[in-house]
Amino acid sequence: MAKALDDFVRVGSPAEIESLLESMIQPGGASLLLDKPESTPLPVVLMEQVPAESLIVDITAVREIGGELKRGVGFRLLGQAHGKIVRTPLLKVVDSETVAGRLVCHCEYPLYLEEMQRREAFRARLRLGMEVGAILRGDGDGEATVQGDLKDLSQQGCQLELPASAASLLSATPMIEIELCFPNGTRFAIKARACHTVADSDRQTIRVGFKFEDCKADQERKLWFFVREIERESSRHAEEADVGRLPSMLFQSQAAASAPVGRRNLLSYPTPMARRLARVAGYLDGQLLELQQGGRIDAVQLSRHADMLLMLADEDMESLLFATRCLSREPLLVRHGLSVAAHILALADGTKIQRDVRKALAASAMVHDLGKGMIPGNLLSATSLDEGGYAQLKMHVALLGKAMNGCQWLSAGVVKAVVGGINERLDGSGYPAGHDGDHLQELSRMSAVVDVVDAMRRDRPDRPAWRIDAVYRHLLSSPGQFDPRWVKRYIQHFGLRPIGSLVRFASGDMAWIQRLDQQGKPFQVQLTEAVEPPGEALGEVLRGNVVARLGEPVEEIPVST
């Protein structure tokens, strides 16, 4: 018998409980939410259920919470089954053990489950104080015609409150472009049709329900992200909610986001995504200083910021890739690490890698070069190194490895492959171990390609930055060092004019590539007159058939970063 509970339906049938839990027993099928303020879902694996007795959960990816669970802190398991969101009531760990290096917990069996209605139909409603603006455009002319407020959102549509004058636009233009504007600067545009209208004559407003049209896969993914974040923020204001929980990043206003992080002013970054990525850069900058002063990698902070980077990647990968080119004031080791992490996540996208592995990939790539901050600075600024200097340089891998000893939540295999293997080469000429191709994992082979592409596109003491076509030629002509399969995959994925490239077009205009279409051609660019990292000199944004406006791309212009 199912009982309604707010937006959830309570499931009490033993057979239904067993069936729903069985659907969650798969990699990436479940996450764990601690019963305490500021908690966020953590990746775990629901390994097994003993109906009416216990659940067996692998928390190896988040070992740092093991102590809290042993002390009796409650938690919920979250997941999806048959297209529905499922959560358990509060549970507690009964016992835990280490099996073949995995940390496994035996937990209480839920007396019932709570099942949210299908995510496609679920509407996240904005509470008082949650403001998301909406801009309506008609006829495809790109000009803002009506502004209003978002009231609720689902994957299928939304409800907006608009001025009564909007009725004329809706009657004249069947297809509308709606652009949602979140407080933190995130924007999202989608085509829609008006389905129903309710007028409020006293307030001179209308409530209009819209159905989204021609929704692409990436738009569906972003919509579900927005729905979850709205529901998360809304729950903070519910009477029974813990108001101490951190707000959703979507609802952190730009005024709040403009506060300095470390030595940077976020307001000076050219895009909302760059401002958010700069927060992760701020953490890495501080972590680099700690390493230089003899400190260690903070396991909890690394975990949190790896989650943040994954969230940015899941929300809008193209914006994230461009944002990595907007970081110009951070230390090179920080900029390089974030760019490598973002490009590894993009290249691995679609390969069905489990979330905990993706998180470990992101974390390992973010910090993979920070060990260079622990060796003499003259080694990094030298135009050439003798044998002794090269031996010292190679020590950065071992130094970072020691500093990461406390990061038990990280997969040791991923750390070994990325941090330990990113500088290795197929012919054994790399470091630190000089392993050849027979001893290199796939992640090492992939990471090596991503790492060298990013490094060669940046200035170095002994040479200026290379153009991307020259980098590709170098990699293709070095099959003994770099795995040709991953080189070809990189070129196919990012193309000859990658996002974040400064390109001169046939018209003579220079513009930064921000988005590509399915054929790899520029779909969104931002004009500039300066050969420098994206900043205040950015001009007009062009979307759509860029080639018709500017002509074919003629050349990439390397930028000192």
Here the tokens at position 107 are 């937990």
Q: What are phi and psi of 33, to 5 degrees?
A: -120, 115
pLDDT at residue 119 above 60?
Answer: no
Express as a percent the part of the chain with pLDDT over 90.
53
The Cα–Cα gap between 195 and 279 comes to: 40
- Evaluate whether 459 touches 486 at the Cβ level (below 8 Å): no
Determine the angle formed by the axes of helices 442-456 and 355-367, rounding to 10 degrees.
40
**Mean of the pLDDT values across residues 7-26?**
83
Chain-centre distance of CA 103, in angstroms? 27
**Mean of the pLDDT values across residues 164-178?**
84
Where in 101-204 does DSSP place strands (E)?
102-108, 113-116, 124-125, 133-138, 146-153, 157-163, 175-181, 187-200
The Cα–Cα gap between 48 and 26 comes to: 10
- Evaluate whether 488 touches 464 at the Cβ level (below 8 Å): no
> From its phi and psi, is residue 108 left (phi > 0), alpha (psi between -120 and 50) or beta?
beta
Cβ atoms within 10 Å, residue 129: 10
The Cα–Cα gap between 78 and 87 comes to: 4
Here the tokens at position 16 are 């239904």
pLDDT digits (tens, 9 = 90+) for 261-305: 333 455 578 888 998 898 899 889 888 888 887 889 988 889 989
CB neighbours of 438 closer than 8 A, spacing ≥ 6? none
The Cα–Cα gap between 34 and 78 comes to: 11
Band (401; pLDDT cuts 50, 70, 90) = very high
Measured over the CA atoms of residue 23, residue 27, residue 28 and residue 31, the dihedral's sign is positive
Tally of CA atoms within 13 A in the half-sphere of 194 that contains its CB: 22
Q: 243 vs 183, which has greater pLDDT? A: 183
CB neighbours of 280 closer than 8 A, spacing ≥ 6? 305, 308, 309, 312, 338, 366
pLDDT digits (tens, 9 = 90+) for 491-542: 999 999 999 999 999 999 999 999 999 889 999 999 999 999 998 778 999 9
Express as a percent the part of the chain with pLDDT over 70.
89
Band (143; pLDDT cuts 50, 70, 90) = low
* Angle at CA of residue 37, ends 34 and 40, nearest 5°: 50
Q: How much is the pLDDT for 328?
A: 85
